[in-house]
Amino acid sequence: MKKVSVIDSHTGGEPTRIVITGGPDLGKGTVAERLQVFREQHDAFRSAVVNEPRGSDVLVGALLVEPADKSCVAGVIFFNNVGYLGMCGHGTIGLVVTLAHLGRIKPGDHRIETCVGVVTATLHADGSVSVANVPSYRAVKSATVDVPGTGLVTGDVAWAGNWFFLVSDHGCELKLANVEALTDLTWRIRKAVNAQGFPEVDHVELFGPPQTAGAYSRNFVMCPGKAYDRSPCGTGTSAKLACLAADGKLLEGETWVQESIIGTRFSGKFRWHNRSRGEVLPVITGAAHVNAESMLLLAENDPFCWGIR
Ligand code: PYC
pLDDT tens, residue by residue, 275-307: 999 999 999 999 999 999 999 999 999 999 999
- CA 40 to ligand 1 centroid distance, Å: 23
For a ligand 1 pocket test, name from 95, 231, 258, 266 the mutation site with the most ligand atoms within 8 angstroms of its C-beta.
231
pLDDT at 209 over 80: yes
Question: Is 80 exceeded by the pLDDT of residue 133?
Answer: yes
SS3 284: strand
Report yes or no: 73 and 99 within 8 Å, Cβ to Cβ: yes
Q: What pLDDT digit, counting tens, does each position of 138-186 carry?
A: 999 999 999 999 999 999 999 999 999 999 999 999 999 999 999 999 9
Tell me which residues are annotated as active site: 88, 233
> What b/e string do you get for 273-293 counting C-beta neighbours within 10 Å, with b at 16 or more?
beeeebbbbbbbbbbbebeee
Average of pLDDT values for 37-66? 98
Q: Is the pLDDT of residue 200 over 90?
A: no
- At residue 309, the pLDDT reads 87
Q: Using CA atoms, how far apart are residues 213 and 286, in angstroms rounded to an integer? A: 17
Pocket-forming residues, ligand 1, beta carbon under 6 Å? 14, 60, 85, 88-90, 223, 229, 231, 233-235
Residue 292 has a pLDDT of: 98
Whether the predicted pLDDT of 199 surpasses 90: no
Q: Which residues pair with residue 120 across a beta bridge? A: 111, 132
Q: For residue 78, how far is its CA from the centre of ligand 1 (angstroms)?
A: 9
| d(CA 233, ligand 1 centre) in Å | 5
| 91 CA closest ligand 1 atom index | 1
Pocket test of ligand 1: the residue of 162, 222, 267 to mutate, having most ligand atoms within 8 Å of its CB, is: 162
Mean pLDDT of the chain: 97
Q: What is the largest CA-CA distance in the chain?
A: 58
User: How far is ligand 1, taken at its centre, from the CA of residue 260, in Å?
Assistant: 12
- Confidence category of residue 197, pLDDT binned at 50, 70, 90: confident
The minimum-distance atom of ligand 1 relative to the CA of 161 is 2
The pTM of this model reads: 0.98
Residue pLDDT, tens place only, 61-113: 999 999 999 999 999 999 999 999 999 999 999 999 999 999 999 999 999 99
